[in-house]
Amino acid sequence: MRRFLPALLLLPVLAAAAPLDDAVALVLEAHPVLAAERAVLEAQTHQRDWNADVTLSWTQQGTEFGGAGGPNAGIRLRIPLFDRSHEIKAATARSAWQNSRDTVLRSFLAEVEKLTEQAAEVRATDAMRAFHKDLLEYRKKQVDEGLAEANTLWDVAANVQQAEHEYRKARTKLEAMLESVARQYGGEQWKTLQALLAEHVKPK
């Protein structure tokens, strides 16, 4: 049983990483710039590096080796033996796509880090909001039991309102950031990306 413990301990980590892995895969597939450059790469890769000409002619009279005149068709191929232009174009397109992929991925992960920091801010303000609410309830009990003056509740109530304001502001900012990043990197699949990112940054 002991030898299975490390694998069991890794399961929560792997599960937590899954939304981000899916988000990265979606970005690499759906990002508009990468999709356009991937189309160019595929076109260059599948483009043939030789030309075929079909020629059609008409013979008015027969020859001593043939019968009556008629249409004659022929195919002529031009295959450059030492022309590497096709290979160079394909390599250039592949390099451009790889460079763009790396740039987009680095930029996206930087945005994910910002989202993670903002999500931590949301959790911190939520905890502070809960603390001030609990403190207000405690002071109310003290007033009811005659252990404190009623006017002491004003400052605590004001702190509750301020904490609520800070929490809502942090949460609204996170939601706006999630949509902005998803729209920028997710292309037509931005809503799916938004859901994956929200799943990634939520408390585990």
Q: 55: helix, coil or strand?
A: strand
pTM attached to this predicted model:
0.66
pLDDT at residue 64, as a whole number: 52
Q: What residue has token string 């792997």?
A: 14
pLDDT at residue 56, as a whole number: 45
Q: What residue has token string 């809503």?
A: 191
Domains and CATH numbers, the chain: 15-201 (1.20.1600.10)
Quick count: other Cβ atoms within 10 Å of Cβ 35?
13
Q: 67: helix, coil or strand?
A: coil
pLDDT at residue 32, as a whole number: 82
**C-alpha span between 28 and 193 (Å, rounded):** 11
SS3 content of the chain, % helix, strand, coil (to 5): 75, 10, 15
What is the DSSP secondary structure assignment for residue 65, as one 8-state letter? T
Average pLDDT per consecutive 10 residues, the chain (204 residues; last block may be shorter):
38 57 93 75 58 48 52 52 59 70 91 96 96 94 87 92 97 97 94 96 85
**C-alpha span between 173 and 114 (Å, rounded):** 11
